[in-house]
Amino acid sequence: MDRILITGFEPFLGHPVNPSALLAEALDGTVVAGARVSGVQLPVSYDGAGGAFAAAFDRVRPDAVLLFGLAFEDEAIRLERVALNLDDTTHPDNLGQIRRGRPIAGDGPVGYWSTLPLDTLLDRLTEAGFPARTSRDAGGYLCNHLFFRARHLIEGRGLAVPAGFVHVPPLEEQVADRPGRTGITLLRLVEAARLMLEVVVQESRTTAA
Q: What positions carry a catalytic annotation?
A: 80, 143, 167
Dihedral sign (CA 60, 36, 4, 52) = negative
43: left (phi over 0), alpha (psi -120 to 50) or beta: beta
If you classify domain 3-208 with CATH, what class do you get? alpha beta
181 band by pLDDT with thresholds 50, 70 and 90:
confident
1 band by pLDDT with thresholds 50, 70 and 90:
low
pLDDT in tens, 21-55: 999 999 999 999 999 999 999 999 999 999 999 99
C-alpha distances out from residue 109 to 11, 75, 83, 151, 180, Å = 30, 31, 10, 11, 41
Residue 207 has pLDDT above 80, yes or no: no
Measured CA to CA, the distance from residue 179 to residue 181 in angstroms comes to: 6
**What value does the mean pLDDT of the chain take?**
96
Q: E strands along 47-114, which residues?
A: 64-70, 77-84, 111-113
pLDDT in tens, 149-172: 999 999 999 999 999 999 999 998
In this prediction the pTM is 0.96
DSSP secondary structure of 13-60: TT-S--HHHHHHHHHTT-EETTEEEEEEEE-S-TTTHHHHHHHHHHHH
Residue 68 pairs in a beta bridge with 166
- Residue 192 is inside which H or E element, if any? helix 186-208
Residue 208 has pLDDT above 80, yes or no: no
